Structure 1
Amino acid sequence: MEQRILGRTGRTVSTVGLGTWQLGADWGAVSEDEALAVLDASAEAGVTFFDTADVYGDGRSEAIIGRFRAANPDLPLTVATKMGRRAEQLPENYVLQNFRDWTDRSRRNLGVDRLDLVQLHCPPTPVFHSDEVFDALDTLVDDGAIANYGVSVEEADQALAAIARPRTATVQIILNAFRLKPLDRVLPAAIEAGVGIIARVPLASGLLTARYSADTEFAADDHRTFNRHGEAFDVGETFAGVDYADGVRAARELAALAPDAATPAQAAIAWVAQQSGVSSVIPGARSVAQAQANAAAGSLGPLPEAYLQRVAELYDVNFRATVHDRW
């Protein structure tokens, strides 16, 4: 698989990585053996970048990755985690002592002395404009607790504020065929600044697999059930914030234009990976087969022009009015 430089970290990572929210069992039950099998299959397929967070399964995802990494010390892995969602979402909670506590816990979970990359986990907007916050992150780097830091954002303006900070290594943002706003300003700014872009929710919570219908039901403990209207966190994280029925219809139209050698999901992942400025795209996987199929998307050639044009058309007709200015 193609490898790219992950922004200011200087590390080389796979174009297609692995998001591991689901390994915390926050998308329904996933056993530890199943989770380890997904990690193993991803690594065998050439994935060298895992993304996790301290709140995925209350640390379960981190701990499983830590066990996998300890059992495979020779694999050239980069593991990114996130912090900040263990406390009430108030700007005053984003202080050095909390950062130390949160990163110490993540280091224990992951079994490392120094974290490869720590991202602020979609904090309140004022955090992105606080010199004290970024000074505290600089202190963690200087102390050797973390090698690099970045941010995970909900909004394009938050990303732009972070990119302007001189030591921000990466920005993680939602980017998929139903969420095109980052193409306008965020990706160009990141390229100019040398900041890596980690693209999350590439399948719009599964919509872009084209496997769902208007009648599909999800488990009660799946965020696609309990957060469909933003009851638990930002609604943009579930189905990328688009209307579910509109997403089902648009995904089927786009799937019809996928290359013969690719599934609709692979084409959707490849579309993200092929955007200029993207360092790595991080689809999730709950099975070995999903992990292998997602990784294979990193080897697809350029997508047909008809597919690219239809992405833009479907977005303009179905989604631009409701999602573009919101995030």
Structure 2
Amino acid sequence: MRQHAFGRTSFTVSEIGFGAWQIGGSWGDVSEADGRNALDAALDAGVTFIDTADVYGDGRSEKIIAGALGARSGPRPMVATKAGRRLNPHLAEGYTKANLESFIDRSLENLQVDSLDLVQLHCPPTDVFYRPDVFGALDDLRQAGKIRNYGVSVEKVEEALKAIEFPNVSSIQIIYNLFRQRPADLFFKEAKRRQIAVIVRVPLASGLLSGKISRDTAFARDDHRNFNRNGDAFDVGETFAGVPFEVGLQAVEEIRRLVPEGASMAAFALKWILMNEAVTVVIPGARNEEQARGNAEAAELAAISADTMKAAQDIYARLIAPHVHQRW
């Protein structure tokens, strides 16, 4: 698996990482054992970047990661977590140094480390991007040794562009996939120019781009694909990438014809993301060992041809862009 420099930091990471939301919660019933096995399978396949958050299962995800890494020998992967979503209400005024430090202290305990490799503001309110004091607080916490690097997980391209104006922001996490192509228009060019690491989340549009979801698929009550289709719990762009479900299914059937023989649709969708050289790491989630290994296999696919890339872009422009392109 190819390794990429993680922006201006000292870390080098695998191009395919492990997104640990699913092993925390909001994806139906994923047992701790299955979560641990999925993570172990990803690490065995060469994954060296793990992304989690303090609110994934109220710390469950972080604790599973700590247990898995504590039982392994050899080089430790880079572990990124997030902070801010514990605020209730989730308002810009809550992003104080005291609150951020308390969240970070809790993650240090959950992950059983002395310093966090990377802490990311967790899709903060847009006003936070106009608050230099927030980023100053992160500078102070880095100086104190509690964090090594910091970045921001964003909902909108405009937020990403604003965040990288702060000189010590190391990374941006953003949604980019076959259904969300706008980051490539301007943001990726700026990120590459400034040596900002780009972490791509929601790469499979909550499973739609696996090609395994149909109109008859039933989701558990505690699965966000059931309770957040209209953005009732958090930004709707996090569920099915914000694409109306029926439209997404139609587009999937057209994309299916582009998948090379012998490859899974999920691996093709991940490889499409990796075709953009601005992407540092993509973080698909996995509920079990099989999914984790399947995600890693995307690294072995041959480069996608220019004709196929254009065909995918045409499907996006015709079916998907009207619903999402200017929204995020």
> Percent identity over the alignment?
50
Does residue 83 (structure 1) correspond to residue 88 (structure 2)? The answer is no
Alpha-carbon deviation of 1:276?
1.8
Conserved in 1, the CA contact under 8 Å of 2:211 and 2:252?
Answer: yes
Alpha-carbon deviation of 1:299?
2.1
2:105 corresponds to: 104
Alpha-carbon deviation of 1:303?
1.0
1: CA distance, partners of 2:257 / 2:62? 37
Partner deviation per Cα, 1:2-52 (whole Å, 9 max, x = no partner):
000111223100000010101013201111111111111000100000000
Conserved in 2, the CA contact under 8 Å of 1:2 and 1:299?
Answer: no
1: CA distance, partners of 2:127 / 2:173? 18
Partner deviation per Cα, 1:137-165 (whole Å, 9 max, x = no partner):
10011000000000000000000011111
Conserved in 2, the CA contact under 8 Å of 1:17 and 1:47?
Answer: yes
1:160 corresponds to: 161
1:131 corresponds to: 132
Alpha-carbon deviation of 1:197?
0.3
Partner deviation per Cα, 1:215-240 (whole Å, 9 max, x = no partner):
22211110000000000000000000
Label 1:108 to 1:73 Cα distance change in 2 as closer, same or farther (>3 A).
farther
Q: How does 1:146-295 map to 2 (within 5 A)?
A: 146-295=147-296
1:7 corresponds to: 7
Deviating more after overlay: 23-32 vs 127-136: 23-32
2: CA distance, partners of 1:291 / 1:144? 33
Q: How does 1:13-24 map to 2 (within 5 A)?
A: 13-24=13-24
2:44 corresponds to: 44
Label 1:8 to 1:191 Cα distance change in 2 as closer, same or farther (>3 A).
same
Conserved in 1, the CA contact under 8 Å of 2:5 and 2:11?
Answer: yes
Amino acid at match of 2:152: V
1: CA distance, partners of 2:161 / 2:138? 18
1: CA distance, partners of 2:125 / 2:9? 24
User: TM-score, normalising length from structure 2?
Assistant: 0.98
1:33 corresponds to: 33
Alpha-carbon deviation of 1:193?
0.4
Structure 1: gaps spanning 5 or more residues:
none
1:122 corresponds to: 123
Tell me the number of residue pairs that the alignment of Structure 1 and Structure 2 aligns: 327
Output the aligned Cα RMSD. 0.9
Amino acid at match of 1:14: S
2: CA distance, partners of 1:103 / 1:145? 8
3-state SS, counterpart of residue 217 of structure 1 = coil
2: CA distance, partners of 1:322 / 1:122? 21
Partner deviation per Cα, 1:45-92 (whole Å, 9 max, x = no partner):
000000000000000000100111111242330000000000021111
Conserved in 2, the CA contact under 8 Å of 1:259 and 1:304?
Answer: no
User: TM-score, normalising length from structure 1?
Assistant: 0.98
1: CA distance, partners of 2:288 / 2:306? 31
